[in-house]
Amino acid sequence: MVKRFFERFYVGIILLFLYAPIVILIVLSFNASKSRAKWGGFTLHWYQELFQNEAIMNALYTTLIIAFTSALIATLLGTAASIAMNSMKKTPRTILMGITNIPMLNADIVTGISLMLIFVALNYTLGFTSVLMAHITFNIPYVILSVMPKLRQLNPNTYEAAQDLGATPFYAFYKVILPDILPGVLSGFFLAFTMSLDDFVITHFTKGPETNTLSTKIYTEVRKGIKPEIYALSTLMFLTVLVLLIIINRRNSEKKAPTRTI
């Protein structure tokens, strides 16, 4: 009993440290007072101000466009690279996997400065496209990490059997390979989307003066002083991610649930 109590107490402390700041942020987003130390009553004023703030809305739009586009392109390139590496022999595949893992282990500031130096050396103007290419670059390894385990679980004979039965290589891939690796592809896409949405350091070094994502915009606003609109924005982002996680987990649990036969 004592051991179980301390285990639950330990888990409770961890959850408290993780989620107490988020709960406080959500409460402050409904606070009528600008002061963080005084409750001025319930209000939705800061949410109205948020949607009327053109700078934040532009940063949100830019963030979503970059995150979705970079995740989509990185998923396509990463899946193609995974298929190519999976067909290689063990030694070159191991070497390439080690190379693709380096960007994930490397510090973001090193990656950001390196990409910035490349753009400067090529006389490429920093802006929206430079941020997009930078996000695609650091997202590809995460897609490969998600897709490769699914490819290793495949039976290579099924693809060859489909071709023997008259299927073209593309049709055999679409009907045999893709359905089996689709969970890994989707996981890679959502992971890339999340990493792009959350990135600050690499974006900070590769963006131009006229380009802002939410992370860089919030950083600029925090230096001036945190506005209540930022609380409202953070609350909406947290609730959106929470709803998506609930939907995805419910779908996964329904798929794993055993079907009853009469």
Residue 242 lies in a domain: no
Domain tally for the chain? 1
Predicted confidence at residue 161, as pLDDT, reads: 80
pLDDT tens for each residue of the chain, 262 residues long: 777 878 888 888 998 888 888 888 888 888 887 777 777 788 888 888 888 888 888 888 899 899 999 999 999 999 999 988 888 888 888 888 888 888 888 888 888 999 999 999 999 888 899 999 999 999 999 999 889 888 888 877 777 787 777 777 777 777 888 888 888 888 888 888 888 888 889 998 998 888 888 888 888 877 777 778 888 888 888 887 787 777 766 755 665 555 544 4
Predicted confidence at residue 135, as pLDDT, reads: 93
Residue 244 lies in a domain: no
DSSP 82: H
Residue 102 lies in a domain: yes
Enclosing domain of residue 60: 53-226
Residue 16 lies in a domain: no
Q: Quickly tell me which residue has 């490429």 as its tokens.
A: 124
Report the distance separating Cα 190 and Cα 249, nearest Å.
14
Predicted confidence at residue 258, as pLDDT, reads: 55
Predicted confidence at residue 262, as pLDDT, reads: 44
Report the distance separating Cα 63 and Cα 158, nearest Å.
41
- Alpha-carbon Rg for the chain, nearest whole angstrom, is 23
Residue 255 lies in a domain: no
CATH of the domain at 158: 1.10.3720.10
What are the angstrom distances between the C-alpha of 232 and each of 24, 61, 127, 229?
Answer: 12, 16, 27, 5
**Angle, nearest 10°, between helix axes 228-256 and 45-52?**
90
Residue 148 lies in a domain: yes
Contact 122, 114 (CB under 8 A): no
* DSSP secondary structure, 154-222, as one string: S-HHHHHHHHHTT--HHHHIIIIIHHHHHHHHHHHHHHHHHHHHH--HHHHHH--TT---HHHHHHHHH
Number of H helices, E strands in the chain: 12, 0
DSSP 175: I
Three-state secondary-structure class, residue 1: coil
Predicted confidence at residue 54, as pLDDT, reads: 85
Residue 36 lies in a domain: no
Predicted confidence at residue 72, as pLDDT, reads: 94
Residue 94 lies in a domain: yes
